[in-house]
Each structure stands twice: as structure tokens, then as C-alpha cells.
Amino acid sequence: MQTPAAVRRAVPLPGRLAAPEPGWTTRADVVVIGSGIAGLTAALRLREHVGKVLVVTKDVLSAGSTQWAQGGIAAALGEGDTPEEHEVDTLVAGAGACDLDAVRVLVGEGPEAVRELIALGARFDVDASGLLALTREGGHHRDRIAHAGGDATGAEIQRALVAAVELAADIEVVQHALAVDLLLAGDGGVAGVTLHVMGEGERDGIGAVHCRAVVLASGGLGQVFSQTTNPGVATGDGMALALRAGATLRDLEFVQFHPTVMYLGPDSRGQQPLISEAVRGEGAFLVDGPPEAGGRRLMQGVHPLADLAPRDVVAKAITRRMHETGRPHLWLDARHLGAPGDGEEYWRRRFPTILATARRHGVDPVTELLPVAPACHYASGGVRTDLWGRSDVPGLYATGEVACSGVHGANRLASNSLLEGLVFSRRIATVLPGELRPWSEPAPDPRAPGLVAGSARRELQELMTDRVGVLRSAEGLAAAGAALADLAGRPAELVDLASWETTNLVTVATALAGAAARREETRGSHWREDHPERDDGRMAGHFDVTLVGGVPSIDFHPAPATDGDLVR
């Protein structure tokens, strides 16, 4: 198949964020942007091999997405399980768009990486004989999800990593700091990064960190949509910064909507409570009404794995039934979990976070149905990297949700995300010390500065939810593209955090909507009502977005489908 020529759309995105000149400077060999599993794993490993490592985080160290992960971390750790079986499940979930080599790295190195995390101090749940307790989630044909604190896996991993970083005197941490833009050397490679520190410690306001490499581990873009499981910090900053610096964004159209997010009412916005897929892994099922009033199980007959079908299949089935019935949500029936009469104790032990959250919102899952609807959960695409985390910009590496290593394809397999951050950060720490760039001065920056009004954020989120959400069409995507161009041209009155974040949101939303418009098929988490079938003939491959003079350029790169003869 021919590679279609790049499509250029006249969307005037800022070439860099407008910001005051740096008022302070410092130096570090490597700057790690982000402090979840990916960022802290990279920092802890790099400190053994490079001079100074500086970790920048937008809030406090523990505030990112890792902290919120419930279900767990997938790896072939159980008796009889193999990386090959994990590979098959990953490829099938990814709907032909995974990179086979990257998946093999993930599943092959995953078990050892998890064991190292345990050795570092992360305490996972064990069974009566002291072995790791493993559960199942959507798309997995084996129990292979390790979990901690019942449903508080991310919080436990974050605790262990933060404790290790706090003991590492040679890692400097800058909290409450937005990474604004990369400083680039004359060869286009990394020379540093500008930060905006929000009023704490010795440094305040805009400053410059001169460095020899940057590891981006800043998480996803969930705040592009009105409802998401992502925390408020997930505003696509890393992807936007990388795009402005010359990196390529790949597979951005593949945004995963988690099927079971607690429905809190039509006006609820921002981060919403996740009801882990592990609840279905333990036996809960979706219903389209209370069974005692004639409600039926949704997933029986839809997929051989029923409620544990891959996430995109379940999210689509829920959305279809919501459209058919006109209801804003369906329900999860988990009232039968635990031994008869022992539900309360079971929920307290296995899903303490979800139990407390649901009750706080007035629903008792021990005795009541949980109202659920899909919401934005995970960006399967991101900054395109090779198998060692290298982006197209010399000295810029990416890992975790901000990256597109190729492991997720069109739909991430449940609980592969923590694993990806762990595995690829270890890889970056293996190669980066040997390829550190010489210190270089930032070159004069030719990129045109700009800033979008912070007040445009809500409008952007509603537009993206309506037009670029679970169900997409050519018409809706064209309307979204035009509206985004308008938003991009709405100038900021203030140079502040709201405007920087909104500019980043508009930037990644424009790239996402552009790639979604080009992908004229339904594959994985990308669902086009006007192209309801998967089309390997025309669409097997990847859409890559770059920014050329502030204008997004979208190029198609064909690649054979990687699920080959595997059962779909």
C-alpha cells in the first residue's frame, strides 16, 4: 500500500509556549519529567550511572496516575503461565496495531521487572501459601494480575518508589513544577528544559535547567475529555512539549475508554471513580437493568470471554445499549461476591478503595447495583519511541503513558500499563548513560510562541467528548477539527498555568482528532460509525503526527497487522 502524502491543515498551534524569560538556571545531567512508576523507576536506575538526576513533577511526588491504578500489574508470574501466552493476549487486545518486538520485550522482561519492584519494597497481596495472589482482567486468558492492598496497587507501588527516592540523596526533586518547553541545541537535540515552579522553595517562576538528556514520563492526556479516570494533572503536557520540540506522536487516535467508571450524574466533570476490571475478574457482571426487574446480562453472547472481553469490546457493548435505551449508564452487579453472607468482609479485604468510594457517593456495592458508564482512561499512543525509549529528538526519551513504544496497539490490554512504565524505564536506564550528549548551549529558538486562553478548557473537553469520544464519524471529526482551530486562535489574556495547560490540551486534541479523522475504520478503541469494520487492506499501520512550523502534519506508515492468525 502506498503511503499517502502528509496532510497539512492550517491550524496555527504555538511552536512553543509563551512564557517569561528564565529567572533562574541550574544544571543536571538528566532531567526526568514525571514521578509515577515510569519516572521514578528511571530516576532510581539512572542515578547509579549518571552524575546528577533531577526529577520534576507537576504536583507532589505521588499525585500522578500511578497512584490511582487499582487492578494491578500484569506479568507471567503464575504457575503454568508463559510470556508467550501474555504476548498473544496483548496482541489480540491491540487489534493488529501492536509492535511485535515491543510486545516481546514487555512480556519477556516483565516478570523480572516485577520481581525487582518487590525487592525494592512494593508489597503485593499473597495467597494462603505465601505466593503472589493473581487475578484476571479483561482480555487475559490466565490469572496474571498481581495486586496490592486489594485494589490499591498503584498506591502501594507509588509508596515504595517514593520511599526509595526519598532515601536517594543524589536525586533532586522539584515539586509543583510544570515542564514548559525543551531548550534545543543547534543540532536540534536536547540542551535543557524550562520549568515553571509554582511558588515553593528557593526557585520560583520560570527557570531553565541545562541538561544532557530528558526522560519524559509525564503521563497521559485524560483531561482532554470531560470525564476521565485520570487525575487533574493529566493535561497532555509531555506529548505537547515533545511535539513542539520535533518529536513524533504515534497512534494518538487510540484512546481507551474504561467500561466501568462510576456514573455520578450528567453534570459530573473531571476525574471520576474507577470500578476496576478486577471486580469483573472476580465474578461481577454488567446488566442493563436490575435483574429482579427483568434486566439482562449484557455481555453473554457478545464475546466468548463475556464480561472479561477486551476493554474496547465491553465499552462498545455498553455504549450501544446506552444508545438503544437512552439511559446515561448501565449497572455492574457485584452483590454476589464473597461467600454467602460474607460480602462486607470480602469487599473490605479485596476492594477496599472501591467500597469506600462507592459508599461515599451513596451506593453500597455489597447490596446495590453500581451505576457505570465508559469514560476516558488511557492514551495507548504518545511520543513514538524505539525499543530503548528513544524519541526522534536526540537526547529525549519517553516512557510510560506519554510514550508510544508500540506495546498497546489499538487497545491496551488491562494492567499492561504499569508494566510498560517499569520495563521501558529500565531499558532507558540501560542505554542512556552510554549515549549522554555533550553539554550544549541552547540555540536561539525560532519557534513562534503562543498561548491559548485558559478559559477555553471546558469548551474543549465538551467538544472532544461529543465529537472525538467513544463513537466517532467523519462529520463529527471535521466539526471538531474546525472548532479546535477556533480554540487554538483564542489568545490568552494571562500567562499562567491554566493557559499553558489549555494550550497543551488544544495541541494534543488537535493531533488526536486529526489522526482519528484519517483512520477510516473501526479498530480497537477507535470506533467509527461511518466505517464500522476493521480494514486491514487500507488501514493496517500507524498515523504519525509531527508539527511543521506550528502546523500538524499527519503521515500514514503501513505495517502488517500483528494479530495475524490469532483468534479475534
Strand order in the sheet with 73-74: 73-74, 145-146, 134-135
Q: Does 278 bind ligand SIN (CB under 6 A)?
A: yes
Nearest distance in Å: CB 300, ligand SIN: 20
Q: Which span (11-19, 276-284, 476-484, 549-557) binds ligand SIN, by CB under 6 A?
A: 276-284
Is 248:544 a contact under the CB 8 Å cutoff?
yes
Q: Which span (100-108, 272-280, 298-306, 382-390) binds ligand SIN, by CB under 6 A?
A: 272-280
Total residues interacting with ligand SIN, rule: CB under 6 A? 9
Q: Does 417 bind ligand SIN (CB under 6 A)?
A: yes
Of 409 and 541, CB closest to ligand SIN: 409
Q: Which span (238-246, 399-407, 412-420, 454-462) binds ligand SIN, by CB under 6 A?
A: 412-420
Q: Does 135 bind ligand SIN (CB under 6 A)?
A: no
The distance from CA 196 to its chain's CA centroid, rounded to whole angstroms, is 23
Of 237 and 277, CB closest to ligand SIN: 277
Give the span between the Cα atoms of 70 and 390, in whole angstroms: 29
Nearest-CB residue for ligand SIN: 71
Give the span between the Cα atoms of 147 and 133, in whole angstroms: 7
Q: Does 277 bind ligand SIN (CB under 6 A)?
A: yes
Nearest distance in Å: CB 417, ligand SIN: 5
- In single-letter form, the type of residue at position 293 comes to A
The secondary element (H helix, E strand) that includes residue 250 is strand 249-250
Nearest distance in Å: CB 463, ligand SIN: 25
> What is the three-state SS of 342-362?
CHHHHHHHHCHHHHHHHHHCC
Which of left, alpha, beta for 490 (phi over 0: left; psi -120 to 50: alpha)? Answer: beta
Nearest distance in Å: CB 421, ligand SIN: 12
Is 134:74 a contact under the CB 8 Å cutoff?
no
Q: Does 234 bind ligand SIN (CB under 6 A)?
A: no
Of 145 and 463, CB closest to ligand SIN: 145
Of 391 and 425, CB closest to ligand SIN: 425
Of 140 and 384, CB closest to ligand SIN: 140
Bridge partners, residue 74, by sequence: 145
Nearest distance in Å: CB 481, ligand SIN: 29
Nearest distance in Å: CB 94, ligand SIN: 13
Q: Which span (27-35, 201-209, 271-279, 454-462) binds ligand SIN, by CB under 6 A?
A: 271-279
Nearest distance in Å: CB 447, ligand SIN: 35
Q: Which span (80-88, 326-334, 413-421, 463-471) binds ligand SIN, by CB under 6 A?
A: 413-421
Of 179 and 376, CB closest to ligand SIN: 376
Q: Which span (116-124, 177-185, 293-301, 409-417) binds ligand SIN, by CB under 6 A?
A: 409-417
Active site residue 359: no
The three-class DSSP label of residue 196 is strand
Number of Cβ atoms within 10 Å of the Cβ of 132 = 18
Is 175:87 a contact under the CB 8 Å cutoff?
no
Give the span between the Cα atoms of 438 and 186, in whole angstroms: 12
Of 275 and 540, CB closest to ligand SIN: 275
Q: Does 230 bind ligand SIN (CB under 6 A)?
A: no
Nearest distance in Å: CB 69, ligand SIN: 6
Distances (CA, A) of 34 to 9, 169, 173, 247: 31, 18, 10, 18
DSSP for 198-249, written as a single string: -S-SS--EEEEEE-SEEEE-----GGGSSEESS-TT-SSHHHHHHHHHT--E
Nearest distance in Å: CB 66, ligand SIN: 11
Of 171 and 337, CB closest to ligand SIN: 337
Burial pattern 85-101, b for ≥16 Cβ within 10 A else e, equals: bbbbbbbbbbbbbbbbe
DSSP for 120-146, written as a single string: HT----B-TTSSBPEE--TT-SS--EE
Binding to ligand SIN (CB under 6 A): which residues in 64-103? 70-71
Binding to ligand SIN (CB under 6 A): which residues in 366-385? 378
Of 109 and 277, CB closest to ligand SIN: 277
Nearest distance in Å: CB 413, ligand SIN: 8
What cell numbers appear for 513 in the block? 482528532
Q: Which span (78-86, 204-212, 270-278, 345-353) binds ligand SIN, by CB under 6 A?
A: 270-278
For the purposes of burial, counting CB atoms within 10 Å of the CB of 277, is it exposed (0-12), middle (13-18) or buried (19 or more)? buried
Give the span between the Cα atoms of 427 and 406, in whole angstroms: 15
What cell numbers appear for 564 in the block? 495475524
Q: Does 415 bind ligand SIN (CB under 6 A)?
A: yes
| DSSP state letter for 432 | G
* Choice from 102, 182, 407, 414 touching ligand SIN (CB under 6 A): 414
Give the span between the Cα atoms of 467 and 465, in whole angstroms: 6
Binding to ligand SIN (CB under 6 A): which residues in 536-555? none
Provide the pairing of β-strand 382-384 with 270-271. Answer: unpaired
Provide the pairing of β-strand 396-398 with 213-216. Answer: parallel
* Choice from 226, 276, 503, 525 touching ligand SIN (CB under 6 A): 276
Give the active site residue among 311, 457, 519, 523. 311
Q: Does 315 bind ligand SIN (CB under 6 A)?
A: no
Of 285 and 378, CB closest to ligand SIN: 378
Choose among 369, 222, 377: nearest CA to 312. Answer: 377
Q: Please identify every residue annotated as catalytic.
A: 311
Q: Which residues are near ligand SIN by CB under 6 A? A: 70-71, 276-278, 378, 414-415, 417
